[in-house]
Amino acid sequence: MRRRRGRIVLHVDMDSFFSAIEQRENPELRGRPVVVGADPKGGRGRGVVSTASYEARRYGVRSGMPISQAYRLCPSCIFLPVRHELYWRVSKRIMQILRSYAAKFQQVSVDEAYLDVTGLVKSYGEAEKLARRIKAEIYEKEKLTCSIGIGPNKLVAKIASDHRKPDGLTVVPPGEVESFLAPLPVRKIPGIGPRSEALLKELGITTIGELAQCDVQRLIPLFGRWASRLVMLARGVDEREVRERSKVKSIGREQTFPRDLEEEEELRAALEELAERVHRDLKEEGFLFRTLTLKVRFSDFETHTRAKTLRSHHGDLATIKEVSQSLLSRFPPRKVRLLGIRLSKLKKRQAVTLDDFM
């Protein structure tokens, strides 16, 4: 039997990224509670906290919290506006450093990336040394700290990087995955938010270890097709590859039919299938779209496209089906040789949800 060789994956996450950059830029802010986000306007401000320095977190201030609440918790905090351009400039330089250490590299957000170093290092011990070198180089060049998790896959690496923060380094070799995950709350699994957590609690499941032991059948009524995926994650199994996402401008699929289609029902079914495939690609790439273009080639090779741009970004299958059907219905009934769906005006999905794993 051929066994798949184990991987070594690093997850790197910068510490309180936006506020750490602000503290670096202005030495007076170092060691002080800094909140980056909307203007609190003396407690009446709207909008949210982007991030808080670890000093501000001691007051209970957290990312995503209304800025007015942050102000109530810590009126003496230093509130700063968000300077995205600056943070992205710094991010680019850090990602360049990280990329140079990886066999496969995947940036997942402004301050987070996966590195597959399988083949570049021979053991978890060597991987740990590599991680220390990475931390030292980032600190030397950017005066910023990060936390790194090392594991046999993305899931374990990601949970490990979050384990000891800031300036942490957590190594979880394959043999320790189970004991590392078991005592942690289920919330630590990316994609399990407050609602999933509450559902699991109803079943008496609060730790990852309990979830790993649980009979999938009990989860199906609550989580449907996510159930088995959830249990696999809890067992520390995650086959997702570390892979570079290119700068995709659009995502599309088209299909020429073995024979021309004419019946409305046939066309509808073919379009639905195409919609499903495009939707899978969109999800794989982690994008939302705003414009859908339908391409129709008739039996005489005459080809037309029609596009619709939505008011906001969408990523669900129902919208793709609905918009493509409504565009198709605007063509006169004729024999169709080819159909195509292309999605453009893409934007990266923000939050990681269970959907990302499906």
User: For this structure, is 241 an active site residue?
Assistant: no
User: Is residue 55 a contact residue for ligand TTP (CB under 6 A)?
Assistant: no
Q: What is the dihedral of CA 123, 128, 131, 133, to 10 degrees?
A: -100
Whether 11 and 154 have beta carbons less than 8 Å apart is answered as yes
Q: Which stretch binds ligand TTP (CB under 6 A): 9-17, 222-230, 262-270, 305-313?
A: 9-17
Q: 51 contacts which partner out of Mg ion, ligand TTP, none, CB within 5 to 8 A by kind?
A: ligand TTP
Q: Which stretch binds Mg ion (CB under 5 A): 5-13, 89-97, 211-219, 289-297?
A: 5-13
Residue type, 109: S
- Choose which of 32, 39, 63, 268 interacts with ligand TTP (CB under 6 A): 63
For residue 243, report the phi and psi dihedrals to the nearest 5 degrees.
Answer: -145, 145
Structure-block tokens of residue 69: 């609440």
The residues, ordered by sequence, that sit 6+ positions from 212 with a Cβ below 8 Å of its Cβ are 178, 181, 182, 231, 234, 235, 236
Residue type, 280: R
Q: What is the dihedral of CA 158, 163, 166, 169, to 10 degrees?
A: -80
Helices (H), the chain: 17-25, 54-57, 67-73, 84-99, 124-142, 154-161, 177-181, 194-202, 208-213, 216-223, 227-234, 264-285, 317-328
User: Is residue 16 a contact residue for ligand TTP (CB under 6 A)?
Assistant: yes
Q: Which stretch binds Mg ion (CB under 5 A): 16-24, 217-225, 279-287, 349-357?
A: 16-24
User: Is residue 18 a contact residue for ligand TTP (CB under 6 A)?
Assistant: yes
Check 112, 264, 284, 322 and give the catalytic one.
112
Q: Within 21-50, which residues bind ligand TTP (CB under 6 A)?
A: 50
User: Is residue 51 a contact residue for ligand TTP (CB under 6 A)?
Assistant: yes
For the CB of residue 98, give the shortest distance to Mg ion in the complex, in Å: 13
Q: 128 contacts which partner out of Mg ion, ligand TTP, none, CB within 5 to 8 A by kind?
A: none
Give the span between the Cα atoms of 75 and 10, in whole angstroms: 38
Q: Which is nearer to ligand TTP, 166 or 174 (CB)?
A: 166
Q: 110 contacts which partner out of Mg ion, ligand TTP, none, CB within 5 to 8 A by kind?
A: ligand TTP
User: Is residue 165 a contact residue for ligand TTP (CB under 6 A)?
Assistant: yes
- Choose which of 43, 60, 64, 333 interacts with ligand TTP (CB under 6 A): 64
User: Is residue 111 a contact residue for Mg ion (CB under 5 A)?
Assistant: yes
What are residue 23's DSSP bridge partners?
none
Give the span between the Cα atoms of 201 and 211, in whole angstroms: 10
Whether 193 and 230 have beta carbons less than 8 Å apart is answered as no
User: Is residue 14 a contact residue for Mg ion (CB under 5 A)?
Assistant: yes
User: Taken in order 126, 91, 349, 223, is the CA torsion positive or negative?
Assistant: positive
- Choose which of 8, 9, 13, 53 interacts with Mg ion (CB under 5 A): 13
- Choose which of 22, 55, 111, 238 interacts with ligand TTP (CB under 6 A): 111
Q: 142 contacts which partner out of ligand TTP, Mg ion, none, CB within 5 to 8 A by kind?
A: none
User: Is residue 17 a contact residue for ligand TTP (CB under 6 A)?
Assistant: yes
Whether 191 and 45 have beta carbons less than 8 Å apart is answered as no
For the CB of residue 338, give the shortest distance to Mg ion in the complex, in Å: 46
Q: Please name which of 284, 270, 272, 277 lies closest in space to residue 318, comparing C-alpha atoms.
A: 272
The residues, ordered by sequence, that sit 6+ positions from 13 with a Cβ below 8 Å of its Cβ are 111, 112, 146, 147, 148, 149, 161, 162, 165
Q: Which is nearer to ligand TTP, 108 or 328 (CB)?
A: 108
Q: Which stretch binds ligand TTP (CB under 6 A): 11-19, 277-285, 286-294, 320-328?
A: 11-19
Q: Which residues are catalytic?
A: 112
Q: By the criterion CB under 6 A, which residues form the site for ligand TTP?
A: 13-18, 50-51, 63-64, 110-112, 165-166
